[in-house]
């Protein structure tokens, strides 16, 4: 779903990993967009889709919201290269996280 949202807005998902309570995503996007705007687009659209698809989900969430307000963003630069970020995200696939996905059978 995140990939589809990014494709619609012409963002490129380079790396994506979903863990139990958060996601890591490396996205390339045009300089006409800010990081905050890209995060807002991904969060708001994904929440809207999930709440439409699974109406009971909102009631099961602590605050009734899909995502926390905050986020962490890091840009690629001299010391923090694309390769370093890709390896960091990929490394989460190798960790034992327990059940990594919500049970979305809430209908």
The set of catalytic residues is 88
**Residue 94 C-alpha from the chain's centroid:** 18
Other CB atoms within a 10 A radius of the CB of residue 38 amount to 20
Enumerate the β-bridge partners of residue 25: 16
Phi-psi bin for 87: left (phi > 0), alpha (psi -120 to 50), beta? alpha
């Amino acid at each position: 779903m995140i990939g589809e949202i990014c494709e619609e807005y012409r963002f490129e998902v380079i790396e994506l990993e979903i863990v139990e309570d958060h996601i890591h995503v490396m996205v390339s996007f045009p300089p006409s967009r800010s990081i905050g705007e890209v995060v807002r687009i991904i969060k708001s659209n994904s929440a809207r889709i999930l709440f439409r698809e699974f109406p009971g989900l909102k009631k099961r969430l602590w605050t009734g919201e899909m995502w926390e307000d905050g986020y962490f963003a890091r840009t690629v630069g001299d010391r923090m290269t694309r390769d370093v970020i890709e390896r960091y995200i990929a490394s989460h696939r190798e960790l034992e996280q327990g059940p990594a996905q919500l049970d979305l059978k809430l209908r």
